[in-house]
Structure 1
């Protein structure tokens, strides 16, 4: 019984049964449709032969019917009916009478018009004139024959029948009668039966032969290799991985490929097992040698396993409680990460503090992770602890260092702001800003640094802060609304993981006041040096006015009448020279006032003309020629006109003194003393050149001429502030001043100012 069950459960039986069932169904379906097709084909062939025979009989009797020769028609039908296959031949007329038949007793008998032979066409009230051949046949049975086939063929009315001399048939009659032919299907039945036997025998033979071949194929090429593969797989399961060489060749088919795959699998399993064993040793070594404490704990917090570092540091014993080993406690910690991991099955982290074996305070971070069984239950927890005592000490030192730097930051004498590099939002600032800007602690946090400047200056200052490192002499507004001046130093930095700008401010308001006082003193000195020329300038209009007034007084004393033309001329001269004197005095007053540090658009040519106007009389007295060559389309610059005028006056004084020193106590040829002033626009810069043909400057002191109180003039002739002040003014307006000089030939001062950007 077990053997039979084993056979039924075997793969070859199942495969053979499955394939055999499919094959049986396939062959059966094939045989069924083959027989069906053969029967239909044989039956259709018999029908075609019967129809052909009926047409032959009608053609054979056609001539006799035309002659109305009944004897000939009967003789023809009788002779044809002698064939074995033909059982009955009848010719019916329109009324259903049998007019001709191979059976003499039936002649002139009248049949029922609804009889089986006639019912084919007379089913309806009006007989059907045309029918398909399949509708004109009928299958009959008889005691002698298995099957008989009857076919009805209509006899049509032809023109020769309706007009012939034999008898008259009206033309409107289309059907004159019918030919009923009954033949035997004995030969066709035999043929069908023979074919059925052949098909059935072939199907049985094919089923058993193919099933046997398939079974044999499965046995040789499937079952035997599979059994061998099963043996190899069992050997792999026992740890025998090297299955080469194979006992026989499996080929390159799927079974052979499966065998190769199993061999490869065994080899790979052997390699993986080797690596697994090696990794196991490595992980065990790592577990022991890793420089942190690793323990495995059960639900009672007892030590199941621990590594070498834990052993050396705490000297535990198996089964001890972790809280006793770590902290010397008698119960578990309140926020124990191991207990929380047992509760929710998730990893937990904590930082712990305890006393080590040497009595010092230790800090460590603990990470607890669950160990789960196949059902997902937490059976143990692995806890890894990393000593962070050194990190804690460093954090404390960093905290103290940050406090120290914060103290330094808050006590820097200059205001320091930390700004967002994009929005210029104030992120932090020190206490020193209170003395300069006047704001309380935290009052500016979150606000824009630009809020402390005038609305009209904010956009330009914001662009400069983002793009420049140094910004000098910018205006700001204190908390109480006063306008003051500062210099800014900008450095990129980082603050709270943000890109920031570190801005240091220096209040230069007092310094600017002092500079203005120095500059003003320089102006007063210049005016003092120009006193002679100015006195001459004022003396000329006063002389004209004195002469005119004396003339008028003398005429009035003598009671002499003054002509209207003379009186008009005298009064016009007095008025013109009063205006001239007033203009000179106003110019001196304007030049002598304190200058502003505010930048405005200035025409350099106009500032030079004002300086020359105040200085030209002195040059005339000293026979110094002044040559001017001004660019009429010169663009504007950002500066202060009064301060620019001071630069040009200082340079003209230097040029005058250099020329006077060169020709002192010497014969001066006519036209030898010259000063040349030229302006031009080159490379978006306004360029001013003031050249003289004086003594020049020695090369060894050329680099010192812009230093305060340094002068090359004789004692009592100069303060040493003129060029220094001029240099500072040029720097204030982002300009450059250079000097070119050749000793005993002359000096050339070259000044460049950036033109206004939107000038067109």
Structure 2
């Protein structure tokens, strides 16, 4: 089974969530542990000071039994493991545990390590060094607090048990409390923190899984299914667009792509059909060309010998229609026999001038005003001059046929353009005629398509498109019904090009 995007996302989110929540839970438990430890330590210090202060009066009176009773009563509190009072020789002189009284602790004992490890006097110990955490024989953690019993002036002057004034410390009070409850609370807090983290990870994962399934999974599967159906040939299938985010845009683009594919397939089908029709038409044209020539020759001969008007009228009709058929046949043959262009270095302005000279008389007869704007700095470029002249003539003739009534104008312009970093020469043929409808615009370059009743063969623009394409150029149409049409032809230059003589204007 192939891994799905959702599974990968969920694994990634789970790992990140585990790291974040796990770290947060660990940090929280550590902070809680430090807080509890600090609280217990503070309470132990207070307890130790309380014991010292509680026994101070009895010690000053040398009431040993009273000191023992006080320590014994305090030692009965829950969580208080040991209370020991050491003299300066390390001998236990007071303790609730009678077995400990009279024992001596070694200087390397954990209770003595704070002072004897570096020679620091117990009277000089900071509050932090008075405490230590260690494990008892049973494995439980315990907190020990040592509190020095100072040699106060009243002790040095007491007659009952006076101590030398130079002795700073008379002994040490060592209080040991259990940390079992603290450890239990820390463990419970840690379990709660990690349980909360696990619940958070689970909730986030479920929420993300639900949202991912709804917002990503279903739309992606719909697109995947649509893609498979289109791949199977169902180009009419569309994806419902119900959102406006990136996936909605993707669905819209998919539908547009499918539409374009359907149109492209239709165009390929039409092109193949037209190619077949073209080959058939070319074959038929070739076969009927000779009979048409014979009909035209004999009808023209009879027309010269005809005497009565009715016969002459009939023969003129035959000659006219035969010539029209001959023109169609020649167009078919020319279209079917298109050959690669024979390129030489040519001057576009000169080609335009020759084409204009050919149609000049026709434009005058049709009362069409011609405006030309030819760029003077056009370079020479490789092209077939005869074929380009044919393109320009076809565009001019089409423009001349685009008028109905009113002001008639044709504009011809040449220029040098840069298209996608490539230098190109450009020619525009524009008119202010009737324009081309959107319905007809999609078919103007198809062979045999024409809107001229009883005029033209419908091959002119198809021939133009073929010639321009063979030259590596493009032909574009901009039109508006009732406003006119502009044909723009762009032809690429070679990198090495020479400037031509100034063009006409």
Q: TM-score, normalised by structure 1?
A: 0.34
Q: Which has the higher helix share?
A: 2
Between structures 1 and 2, the one with greater strand share: 1
Q: Which has the larger radius of gyration?
A: 1
TM-score, normalising length from structure 2? 0.50
